[in-house]
Amino acid sequence: EEPEPDHDEL
Amino acid sequence: MNVFRLAGDMSHLLAIIILLLKIWKTRSCAGISGRSQLLFALTYTARYLDLVTNWVSLYNTVMKVFFIATSYATIYLMYLKFKATYDSNHDTFRVEFLLLPVTILALVLNHEFSFMEILWTFSIYLEAVAILPQLFMVSKTGEAESITSHYLFALGSYRLLYIFNWIWRYYTEEYYDLIAIIAGVVQTVLYCDFFYLYFTKVLKGKKLQLPA
């Protein structure tokens, strides 16, 4: 199961 | 934040500064693809709309604002201020061949079918291929100024450093984002040919010139 994306990266 | 991520961001920052300085100091945008720059502006606009909905950190916000602002500044310099120096005859890559598949892919392969998430996914896929008009322009003219080569090298290194960041995060946080990783690998692979020429020619003081 892939972790929830956080989109904290640029 | 880890050292690879920070180095990647700094490399990205450096690329943009090199590009703006080149245009400003030489009063010319010769050799730069306006189409790639338009795609980058679209990329950052789509990705960083979350500036208004999602607070991460001061660093994150400052960088996002910088990337959006400089991408539009570049477009202003290319299409208005120094328009006369823009080499549009050689900047002929058909961007619809990128935009159409990227849009479809973002609608089909995403983490969640929501407006913001699709915009984010679209931006990730688009960024991966946004440099193609620029690389096409270099191959069409057969050469690039050294300063343009340094710009491309810094820009290409940024996603390569992010790959190390993703490997690091996988081992230390068990975190991974397949969409970002696969697109990032594609993005980096597109630069491989250029990296080879950069190391074998530009760093030895020669101009980047493609074999006829």
Residue of B nearest to A3 (CA): B175
A7 in contact with B, Cβ within 8 Å: yes
Residue of A nearest to B121 (CA): A7
A8 in contact with B, Cβ within 8 Å: yes
What local confidence, expressed as pLDDT, does residue B88 receive?
A: 95
Helix or strand run (H / E) with residue B106: helix B96-108
Residue of B nearest to A6 (CA): B177
Q: Are B11 and B174 in contact (CB under 8 A)?
A: no
What local confidence, expressed as pLDDT, does residue B150 receive?
A: 97
Q: Pick the residue of A1, A4, A8, A9 with the most B CBs within 10 A to test the interface with B by mutation.
A: A9
Give the closest-approach CA distance of B154 to chain A in angstroms.
Answer: 16
Q: Pick the residue of B111, B124, B177, B179 with the most A CBs within 10 A to test the interface with A by mutation.
A: B177
How remote is the C-alpha of B106 from its chain's centroid? 18
Spans of all domains in chain B:
3-204
Walk along chain B (212 residues) and give the pLDDT tens digit of each residue.
999 999 999 999 999 999 999 999 999 999 999 999 999 999 999 999 999 999 999 999 999 999 999 999 999 999 999 999 999 999 999 999 999 999 999 999 999 999 999 999 999 999 999 999 999 999 999 999 999 999 999 999 999 999 999 999 999 999 999 999 999 999 999 999 999 999 999 999 988 988 76
ipTM of the complex: 0.95
Longest CA–CA separation in chain A, Å: 24
Nearest to B188 by CA among B160, B164, B149: B160
What local confidence, expressed as pLDDT, does residue A1 receive?
A: 80
What local confidence, expressed as pLDDT, does residue B92 receive?
A: 97
Strands (E), B50-159: 143-144
Rounded distance between C-alpha atoms, residue B136 and residue B157, angstroms: 19
Q: Is the pLDDT of residue A2 over 90?
A: no
Query: Helix, strand, coil % (nearest 5) of chain A?
Result: 0, 0, 100
A1 in contact with B, Cβ within 8 Å: no
Q: Are B15 and B172 in contact (CB under 8 A)?
A: no
What local confidence, expressed as pLDDT, does residue B59 receive?
A: 97
What local confidence, expressed as pLDDT, does residue B211 receive?
A: 79
